[in-house]
Amino acid sequence: MKLFKPTLIALALVAVVGCNEKSVEEVKAPVLDTEVQKQAYGLGASIGMYMQRNLEEHDKLGLTLDKELIVRGFVDSIDGKAVIEKEEIQALLMNLDASMKEKQQAATIAASEASLAEGANFLADNAKKEGVTVTESGIQYEVLTAGEGDKPAAIDTVTVHYKGTYLNGEEFDSSYKRGEPSTFSLNRVIKGWTEGVQLMPVGAKYKFTIPSDLAYGPNGNPPSIPGNSVLQFEIELLKIQKADAAPKVDGHDHATH
């Protein structure tokens, strides 16, 4: 195991908290007169951002690390005075990594189970709302704008604008925000899209609530989609290209496999 990451964390903490032997009043602003000085400070700042994310992740999983000991280990090692041998350090870090993975897996399983229960309750309530239609497979949809054009087949290529949200309304993907619609083969996306978009005439805009088994299933689509997630999409069908003259897909949409 490489010792690079722990070294980065320790170095960043030195930059952030300063030497523990000095009081706050003694810490002076850095001198950044030259390009090299700015580069050195920028490197430290970059390391600090990595350190912050790393330690926050440890904290979330209940593996809070003592910052003073991290700083001490860094300073001792560059002075050649580390009190733990390299081989033992490697074993310790391997154990820390294993603990992290174990806790991450447990957290993932817990989130997946919570999503399953939340999704089932949401689908049951949403199906009762006025204007919601439920297909045989379980997809729920509302017609926001009725279209009058043709409907696509599963083998066709479609151009759509869309946004995807979690059940709490938080947006995880949007062609609108990217400023351009997405084009893709309808048989190369999640099952909920393949079935749902075929219900839409050109010019229509529908809101779909897609059960997890017709979206990304129990495994989800890390890192953005947790397992067993029921997802909602607002989709606007702009154009259909028949399969015998289909253009290349742009490969940008979130709903592709």
What are the pLDDT digits (tens) for 95-117? 988 998 898 888 878 877 888 88
Whether residue 106 is contained in a domain is answered as: no
Shared domain check, 241 and 132: yes
Q: pTM for the complete prediction?
A: 0.62
Helix axes 35-60, 4-17, angle to 10 degrees: 110
Tell me the residue range of the domain where 25 lies.
4-83
Last residue of a domain, one of 24, 49, 83: 83
Residue 4, φ and ψ in degrees, nearest 5 = -65, -50
Q: What is the pLDDT of residues 166-189, one digit of tens each?
A: 999 999 999 999 999 999 999 999
CB 166 within 8 A of CB 231: yes
Last residue of a domain, one of 47, 64, 83: 83
Report whether pLDDT(35) > 80: yes
Shared domain check, 228 and 160: yes
DSSP element (H, E) containing 9: helix 4-17
Report whether pLDDT(84) > 60: yes
Shared domain check, 134 and 75: no
Shared domain check, 134 and 77: no
Whether residue 206 is contained in a domain is answered as: yes
Last residue of a domain, one of 52, 83, 114: 83
Retrieve residue 56's tokens. 């926050």
Longest dimension (CA), the chain: 77
**Burial group, residue 135, by CB count within 10 angstroms (0-12, 13-18, 19+):** middle
Retrieve residue 102's tokens. 């174990």
Shared domain check, 192 and 139: yes
Whether residue 184 is contained in a domain is answered as: yes
Q: What is the pLDDT of residues 184-232, one digit of tens each?
A: 999 999 999 999 999 999 999 999 999 999 999 988 887 788 889 999 9
Confidence at residue 8, expressed as pLDDT on a 0 to 100 scale: 47
First to last CA, the chain: 34
Confidence at residue 24, expressed as pLDDT on a 0 to 100 scale: 45
Whether residue 101 is contained in a domain is answered as: no
- Model confidence band, residue 245 (pLDDT cutoffs 50, 70, 90): low
